[in-house]
Amino acid sequence: MFSTILLDLDGTITNPYIGITNGVMYAYKHLGLEVPERESLRSFIGPPLIVEFTRRGLPEEQAREAVRLYREYYGETGLFENELIPGTVEFLRELKQRGKRVFLATSKPEQFSVRILERFGIAQYFDFIGAAAMDGSRDSKLAVIQYVLGSTGASPQECLMVGDRMHDIIGAHDAGMKCAAVLVGFGSREEFAEYKADYVAETLADVLKYV
Q: What residues are labeled active site?
A: 8
**SS3 state of residue 4:** strand
- Find, among 141, 153, 137, 131, the residue nearest to 179 by Cα: 141
Ramachandran category for residue 46: left, alpha or beta (phi over 0 → left; psi -120 to 50 → alpha):
left
Spell out where the chain has E strands: 4-7, 14-15, 83-84, 101-109, 128-132, 159-163, 178-182, 199-201
Distances 63 to 57, 69, 72, 101, 183 between C-alpha atoms, Å: 9, 10, 14, 36, 30
Q: Phi and psi for 31 in degrees, rounded to 5?
A: -85, -5
Ramachandran category for residue 140: left, alpha or beta (phi over 0 → left; psi -120 to 50 → alpha):
beta
Count Cβ atoms below 10 Å from residue 118 Cβ, excluding itself.
11
Q: In angstroms, what is the C-alpha Rg of the chain?
A: 16
**SS3 state of residue 5:** strand
Which H/E stretch holds residue 148? helix 141-152
